[in-house]
Chains A and B, each alone.
Chain A
C-alpha cells in the first residue's frame, strides 16, 4: 500500500506533471495475455494454486487475470483472494499519512497451496515483505510466487524479485509509475510521471 500512496497520487489533479506513456491499452492487453500464459505454463490447471491480489491496487490486475484465464483459456475454478497488508507494514507511525486498512478476503485454505501474489507495481519490495508475513497467518503455503505488471528496477530496498513481470522500467528518484485500469480509472494504461 505504501506504493499506492507514493506512486498513484490523484493524478487528475496533477495536470502540470509531465507524463510519458509506458504501456497503452493494447500493450497492457498483450502483457496480460503473456502473464496469463506464463502462469498456465507453471500452474497447469491451477488445481493446487491460489491467486492473491494485494490490496488496494493489486486486486484490479488479479481480477483481470482471473477473468482472462477463465474466459479465454478456459481454466475453471480459479481461486482468487484479496490480502490487506496494512497491519503488517513496517512504516506504521513513521509516515505522515495515517494508514487505512482494506478488506482481506481469503475464502480458501492456503496451507500447502501454491500462492501467487499479484500486485501492479513492484517498487521497494516492502509491501511484498509485509504480504509474506501476512500470508503466514493463514497457514503455511507450499510456495509463494510474485507476479507484477511493472517492475521498477534499481529501486529495491529488500532482496525481493518478481517471478512474472509485465514490463521492467527504469524509474529514478521522484519519478512515479501510475497504473490505470478501465474499471477504476477509465482506461487501461501505464504512465511514467515526472514531478
Chain B
C-alpha cells in the first residue's frame, strides 16, 4: 500500500489507524529511493512554471570551482564528521546542497567565496600550502583558531564569520538530509493520531492534563 493509497483510506475512513501506520512504514523505504531519483524541479513537489524556470536558470551553471568544492567538503566533514550515531556531512551530500543554496541565496556568495580565499591565504602564510593541501593536523590547527567566536583573536574575526556561516550552512544541509533527520530524531511527517504528551514524559516534567482537557480534547484508543 503506497502513501497515496493510505491517504485515500484515511479519506474514506475504512482502515483503522493501526493498519494505516503499518502501511506507511513498509512503503517509506521504497518511496525514499524513488524520490531520490526524481527531478526535484518538477513532479516531486508541486511547482509553478515560474519556479521551474527559476530552478533551471540557477542550476545551469556551477558557482564553486573544483578547488573550492574540495575545500568545502573537507570543512563540512570537520564540522559534521561521522560518529557512532550517524554519517558525515559529505555522506549526506552537504557540499552539493551548499553549491545549490549559495546560487539560490546570493547574499552567501561573496562571504563564501571570500571566506574560502581568506582561509587559503592564511594557510599559505603559515604553511605555504592552501587549506586543502595542508595536513589534517594543520587543518585542525587552523580551524581551532576560527571555530570559537569568543576565544578567537581579533585579527581572525573575518575567518570566524566565515566559519560560522560554513557551520550554519553545513548544519542546514546535514540535518535536512535523510541521515541528519534520523540523527536528530525528528519522528513526525507521517499520518498518525495525536493523543497528547506520552505519560512518562508528563511525569518527567511533573505535568498532567486537567480533567477539563481530558474531557474536551480529542483522544484515540490505541
A and B are interacting partners: no
